[in-house]
Structure 1
Amino acid sequence: MRNMQFYFLCLNARWIMSKALMAAASLYNDQRFLSKSELRIYKNKIRRQRIVRRQRVTLALVIAMILFAMIFVVSTLVSDAASDDYTPEYKYYGSITVGVGDTLWDIASDNISWSHYDTVEDYISEICSINHVEEEEIFAGDNLVIPYYSTEFK
């Protein structure tokens, strides 16, 4: 009986209340005024929402674990580990004397290790950096320190 009175009150109020008042009133739905079936429907709705939320979280965790496993497997397969036939090369520095008519380009071309430098310019840049000189500042009789690589450990 009480539910019916509330229902008719809401129907009558709908004609009297504005849309804003109806929206405000709908925020204050009280479970005391719901019937058993309405309460069961409401609780089932909440339960279904929790189940869906739990399923989404579980799905997200499974996807994250699969991605982590894939990244781990790929990173171990494409590792930078040395192979069995790898022989290490050690970097050393030697000194040479610039001869008459020698250019830094000639010296670099004769001594470059292509497995460690992409271009002759890179090697020349390192020689200039080590000796604190510019390319145009070398003269016959100057001593230059040049890097070289060897598989022999000294």
Structure 2
Amino acid sequence: MKQHHVRILGLDPGLRHTGWGLIIAEGSRLSYVASGRISTPTEGSLAFRLAQLSLALEAVVADMGPHEAAVEETFVNANARSALKLGHARGICLLAPARLGLPVAEYAANLVKKAVVGAGHAEKHQVSAMISRLMPQARDLTADAADALAVAVCHASHRQHLARVSA
């Protein structure tokens, strides 16, 4: 009996740059499909920039055909204005795949790090290094794309656990 595979889209939200990464999870086996970064214009109103992000995300979902999406619950202790803008971008990252009918999961940054590196307080470069090791075919990743792949890996691991618990 062929094992069911799931295409998982991981998203690392940002208003300037949103990373995305698509993997296939087949049991405990993970394979890299594609990744990239969506950059919004730095000029224009917030509404215009969010609309651009939404359109680009919807295009990624349409092109890549994921079955599920996962978004990082980003935590920033920068100023309130930056945090609010990031929150708006996160909202779009939750909304765009949901509008296209995908179930969307959210994971705290330390849970993503723990799933990939084994430690919740891992540094960004450790996450990138582990993603490169797990998915050697993913070359020249931006930090955003590596983080998005880490979110997808975290979801693959947790959705299996949830499936086992509910079985």
TM range (shorter): under 0.3
Q: Which has the higher contact order (CA 8 A, sep 6+)?
A: 2
User: Highest Rg: 1 or 2?
Assistant: 1
Higher helix fraction (1 or 2): 1
